[in-house]
Structure 1
Amino acid sequence: MTKILWGSLLLLVVCLPLAACGESGSTGDAKNLTFWSAANPPQQAFWNQMAKEYMAQHPDIKVTVKAIPENPTSEASIQAALAGGTAPAASENIFTGFGGQLQNSQAIVPLDQMPGWNDVIKARHMDKTITSWKFSDDHTYILPMYSNAMLFGWRMDILKQIGYTEPPRTYSQVIAMGQKLKQKFPDKFVWARDALVKDTWYERWFDFFSIYDAASNGQNFISGGKVTANDQAAVNTLSFLKDLSQNKLLLTQTETDAFETGLSVMDIIGPWRFATWQQKYPNLKLNDNYVLTPPPVPDNMANSQNIKTFADAKGLVIYKQASTEQQNAIWEFLKWVLSDPQHDLQWLQTTSLPSARDDLSTNTTFKSYFTQNPQFSKYAENIPNAIPPINVSNYTDIQVSLGDQAVIPVVKGSASPQQAWNSWKSSVQTMLK
């Protein structure tokens, strides 16, 4: 599975007054429903199979599954469909940032008000996971389908050569390990990440936010038009990056597969990396030459349990453009899919994406899958600790500014962590409404 990278979205006008898009209470053909899946073929295959099985049990309903067009992006295609009045009844592949745009445009249904919402959450064992998907108005508009909890990989085969039997847990321990690493292997680094000196908005998910979520215990970053981040956790995160850079433990020039080749001993690893490793680096074996852990934390959190991390996660929405009858009918389909753990097993087997279930690592339904695919077990264990992206509509501008005003100056040594954080908070106020 390869990581999906989102470029800047083509911002099209979404129908703001619902009357222009079709009243949510208007009549519609609830027997013919369209569902848009991600353009990823395994996800299409799963949803086509679900629709086939559902229609066999409900012969009066037709569910047509189509891939979301990606011209230029899936987000832009959804916005264009909404503007043109051709949106599906529901779709997957929605992350919380884009969901914020859709919610701000009143284009999606608050799912927590749909009949049987609590039953779905209970049946899918999502009580912990779902809490971080709530919007600032206390409603939940996206039902997470999968959640990739970002974990840190450590090259234990190299760390063992400098006296370590387990990876460091705190910031100061990482720095101390790095200093020992340099003494024995002067050409190696703790972390190789060229994105730390680039302002590409989505890269902040895979550096700053993964570390911040751990340091803040998942405290909401922006809510209700205000910065609600834990200031000390944010400064601690930037201080960790500063210490890595100042101690020459951070490589920011572009290198190919630095972790895989052993040039660096730490990296943030998403589960999509394993498919490449099977082909290109078959020698990399879990608990042999590498291990996976939650992010390192500030020193005062050394004994903390259930460390939070960033979630590369997407979910399902229902569109208000559909009639009430269509909304209810597609919701019945989605409830049917999500209320049976066997369907989540099919999802796992088909897509290799971790289902957003609190019990994914403990439910016996999935035991054989993780026995055969042990590299995914840690991701399953950390789903309840995974925090999705910020859900404000102008997330791209905010995260570009986070790079320009905070991360890049700190890594380059042109601003202190406190100065950089204050600078970003000052600049972002004009973006929040």
Structure 2
Amino acid sequence: MKTMKLAAFAAMALLLSGCGPEEKNQQSIKMWVAPNVTQEVYWGEIVKEWNSNPANRKVEFTPIPAAGSSEEAIMNALASGTEPDISTNIFIGFARQLTELKQLNDYSKMPGFQALVETRHMGNAMASWKFDGQQNVIPIYISPIVYWWRSDLLADYGFDHVPVTYDEIYTLSERMTQSHKGYSLQITSGKNWWDRWFDFVPLYYAASQGSPYIQNNKATFNNDAGVQTLTFINKMFANKWTSYDFTASDDPLAAGTVLGAVRGPWDIDRYHKQFPEVLKTIRIGQMPTLTGDAEAATMADSKGMVMFSTSKVQPDAWKFIQWVYSNPKNDLRWLELTGMPPAREDLQSNPVFKSYLQQHELVNAIASFVPKAVPPAPITKTVEVQRTMTQMIEKLVFKNSPITEVIQASSQEIDNTLGQ
């Protein structure tokens, strides 16, 4: 009788809590994804297929809630205890911050981790995302930062190839000056802190063979590679071969105001819809260097997936992640929908991707740079550091400050910021 009463009491407690035994066991995996239409379509397809198997714990995904940024939305959720089990759209600096706050699971401790790394051919990418001895992020994609060039306009100035050295760009710029038509290159991407990911950082990586610009909480770009990079930027502005005043609404490459500019794989679809004739002229080029080294590095614009340490369904969430990234057909679908190269080193050798890449010449050209793409510094104060870099460039452009002076001052300010 006592046992029956206890059982009845337990059943009543579950009823009052709003879930019976079966419902409790069916707690879903909560997932947040980037608030982006194509990525939501992708995850919709993936989740639907996963959920179609009754043996799988169901996944429920929603876009990261609206806020000032994805990072702000996630931090608010962590503060209120409403965070999901897993989330995409995590950049390396934020991942470092979440790791220091002990909010993320270490994937390397999960069963089958190394097998997944090998199956997806993402060993180099995972190594780049390792910090504090942990692997807290599965990188989803790697979009190498590259230049798009107008081959039709290059031909007008005697170039049958994209420029790869500083001197070639100087020659091109001088020829344009004589014709008084526009600028040769959009060398800076904008005035916001994140724009340094698309100009100074990739140019420095190219000049330094991929060496870090921040290491052990110290700026390391006050060196020959840093001076080369700023000398190139400074000469372009000093000779009025470029401009700092392109607005966000402008597309000087499409308009022909410049012959070359950094654009991303996400721009291919936009150009296809808005500037289809221009798109036919586009050729992909590396970050220029002093010598035009064909193996020059660049920056990887990359985001990844994390699992929060508070998740109550970690084994099943991990099974879902393994299922997604163990099948190259899922990465192919990602590539088809987003145009952004998946974070794997076998894109151009794996037959799964061969047909797509053959039919999409620009994506294939961009994908060729994936092995040379290095993620930005894994630091928690990315905004402050890159605002300092912005001020460094503006001192060159507007104050004609000596290169050695601005690079030393910027490095010291960054050291002070990261040492706090």
Query: What TM-score do the two structures reach when normalised by structure 1?
Result: 0.86
Bigger relative contact order, structure 1 or 2, given CA contacts below 8 A and separation 6+?
Answer: 1
Unaligned runs of 5+ in 2: 1-23
- Report the secondary structure of 1:36's partner residue: strand
Contact kept in structure 1, 2:32 and 2:62, CA below 8 Å: yes
* Aligned-residue offset at 1:363: 1.4
Larger gyration radius, structure 1 or structure 2: 2
* Aligned-residue offset at 1:415: 1.3
Aligned with residue 275 of structure 1, among 269, 272, 275: 269
Contact kept in structure 2, 1:129 and 1:385, CA below 8 Å: no
Aligned with residue 394 of structure 2, among 396, 408, 413: 408
Residue number in structure 1 paired with 2:10 = none
- Report the secondary structure of 1:283's partner residue: helix
Residue number in structure 1 paired with 2:379 = 392
CA distance in 1, matches of 2:72, 2:59: 23
* Aligned-residue offset at 1:195: 4.8
Residue number in structure 2 paired with 1:322 = 311
Equivalent positions of 1:276-425 (< 5 A) are 276-286=270-280, 289-299=281-291, 302=292, 304-323=293-312, 326-404=313-391, 406-425=392-411
Contact kept in structure 2, 1:242 and 1:413, CA below 8 Å: no
* Aligned-residue offset at 1:59: 2.3
- Report the secondary structure of 1:297's partner residue: coil
* Aligned-residue offset at 1:259: 1.2
Residue number in structure 1 paired with 2:39 = 43
- Report the secondary structure of 2:89's partner residue: strand
Aligned with residue 167 of structure 1, among 153, 162, 171: 162
The answer to whether structure 1 residue 154 and structure 2 residue 141 are counterparts is: no
CA distance in 1, matches of 2:58, 2:314: 14
Q: In the superposition, relative to structure 1, how do residues 60 and 427 fare at CA in structure 2: closer, same or farther (>3 Å)?
A: closer
Q: In the superposition, relative to structure 1, how do residues 30 and 209 fare at CA in structure 2: closer, same or farther (>3 Å)?
A: farther
* Aligned-residue offset at 1:58: 5.0
Segment drifting more, 391-400 vs 269-278: 269-278
Q: Deviations over 1:201-249 (max 9, x none)?
A: 1011111112111111211222332224472212211111011112221
Q: In the superposition, relative to structure 1, how do residues 390 and 70 fare at CA in structure 2: closer, same or farther (>3 Å)?
A: farther
> Sequence identity, in percent?
30
Residue number in structure 2 paired with 1:19 = none
State the one-letter code of the partner of 2:114. Answer: N
Residue number in structure 1 paired with 2:13 = none
Residue number in structure 1 paired with 2:173 = 178
* Aligned-residue offset at 1:423: 0.5
Contact kept in structure 1, 2:148 and 2:260, CA below 8 Å: yes
Query: What TM-score do the two structures reach when normalised by structure 2?
Result: 0.89
The answer to whether structure 1 residue 238 and structure 2 residue 230 are counterparts is: yes
Contact kept in structure 2, 1:82 and 1:321, CA below 8 Å: no
The answer to whether structure 1 residue 432 and structure 2 residue 402 are counterparts is: no
How many residue pairs get aligned? The number is 394
Q: Deviations over 1:77-116 (max 9, x none)?
A: 1111111111111110001121122112111122223222
Aligned with residue 257 of structure 1, among 246, 251, 260: 251
Q: In the superposition, relative to structure 1, how do residues 233 and 140 fare at CA in structure 2: closer, same or farther (>3 Å)?
A: farther
CA distance in 1, matches of 2:72, 2:160: 48
CA distance in 1, matches of 2:160, 2:38: 39
Query: Over aligned residue pairs, what C-alpha RMSD do you find?
Result: 2.0
Contact kept in structure 1, 2:222 and 2:411, CA below 8 Å: no
Unaligned runs of 5+ in 1: 1-27
Residue number in structure 2 paired with 1:138 = 133
Instruction: Tell me which stretches of 4 or more aligned residues in structure 1 moved more than 6 Å.
Output: none
CA distance in 2, matches of 1:265, 1:370: 25
State the one-letter code of the partner of 1:359. Answer: D
Segment drifting more, 236-245 vs 268-277: 268-277
CA distance in 1, matches of 2:187, 2:157: 22
State the one-letter code of the partner of 1:261. Answer: A
CA distance in 2, matches of 1:30, 1:430: 50
State the one-letter code of the partner of 1:176. Answer: T
CA distance in 2, matches of 1:292, 1:140: 32
Contact kept in structure 1, 2:165 and 2:288, CA below 8 Å: yes
Q: In the superposition, relative to structure 1, how do residues 273 and 351 fare at CA in structure 2: closer, same or farther (>3 Å)?
A: closer
The answer to whether structure 1 residue 191 and structure 2 residue 185 are counterparts is: yes
Q: In the superposition, relative to structure 1, how do residues 121 and 275 fare at CA in structure 2: closer, same or farther (>3 Å)?
A: same
- Report the secondary structure of 1:266's partner residue: strand
State the one-letter code of the partner of 2:163. Answer: P
